[in-house]
Amino acid sequence: MRYENAVTALAAVTNWHKSTYSGGQNGGCVEVGSVPGLVGVRDTKLGANSPTLAFSPVRWAAFTDSVRCHQFDL
């Protein structure tokens, strides 16, 4: 899917929810929403005004699996 089409599709998302991995103490929260074939991630504090990152469901699942396995712990 072309970037422009992904942005348009994700602009219509109504099922945004705060990530369970967002800490919330330092404003580092993200929201996740989806449409068929795309998963969007955006900054909670900016809401609809936030730039949105778009992932395929397969790529998003690989990322979240890596987070759960602590591959990105500092």
* Contact of 18 with 28, CB cutoff 8 Å: no
Which of 42 and 2 is assigned the larger pLDDT? Answer: 42
Give the tens place of pLDDT for each residue, 17-72.
887 766 656 667 888 998 888 999 988 888 788 888 889 999 999 998 998 898 98
Instruction: Please choose, from the candidates 17, 39, 43, the residue with its C-alpha nearest in 3D space to the C-alpha of residue 30.
Output: 43
pTM over 0.75: yes
3-state SS assignment for residue 39:
strand
pLDDT score recorded for residue 60: 93
Beta bridge partners of 43: 30
pLDDT score recorded for residue 25: 62
